[in-house]
Amino acid sequence: MKLLSALLLSIALLLAGCSEPKRFVSTDLSMVDWGKDFSLTDHKGQPRRLADFRGKAVVLFFGYTQCPDVCPTTLTIMRDAMTLLGEDAKRVQVLFVTVDPARDTPQLLAQYVPAFNPDFLGLYADEKTIAALAKDFKVFYAKQPGSTPDTYSIDHSTGSYAFDPNGKLRLLLRHGEAPANVAADLKLLLSEKQ
């Protein structure tokens, strides 16, 4: 009788585990009503909108090429997450939006962003467009003076936004998150029914 009870309990626990909803490591933004689209130019000179990447999970990050720590760390984590995703990485697009259009020329973005992964795209626009987009995505950024006018730094938000393959904003990926966790969250987005 004890063996039968133990067996039934084990089956019940296994079935309960099967019905558990998928859980993201990152912050779920599924209920927000902002960050719906963008209209920028990539470092190859192509106009880009979110709809261009329909069918792929998209990770959108705001930063700048002269950032000493946050931006290279984020792009390195994304590179490592793509490696962990293997073949699924072909279904993910990483986009780096500059908050420093004065210095981040298309040529500089074309050298910097693909250095982390050749499939990553750098996006830019004029200052007014970037400011409006940052506001829509609740991204903070502010120029901090340097020792010369050209050596300023920019304080900025550090999270990345993940969209599902249908183009819906779903997750805020925290800065410094382990690549395995980022890859797991992206895999969950890719596995959802379209």
CA 93 to chain centre: 9
Please check if 71 is assigned to a binding site. Answer: yes
CA nearest to 26, candidates 157, 175, 190? 175
Q: Can you count the helices (H) and strands (E) in the chain?
A: 5, 10
Distance CA 80, CA 128 (A): 33
Distance CA 68, CA 7 (A): 57
DSSP state of 154: E
Place of tokens 């979110």: 50
CA nearest to 40, candidates 101, 117, 81? 101
Please check if 18 is assigned to a binding site. Answer: no
- Binding-site residue set: 67, 71, 156
- Binding-site residue set for Cu cation: 67, 71, 156
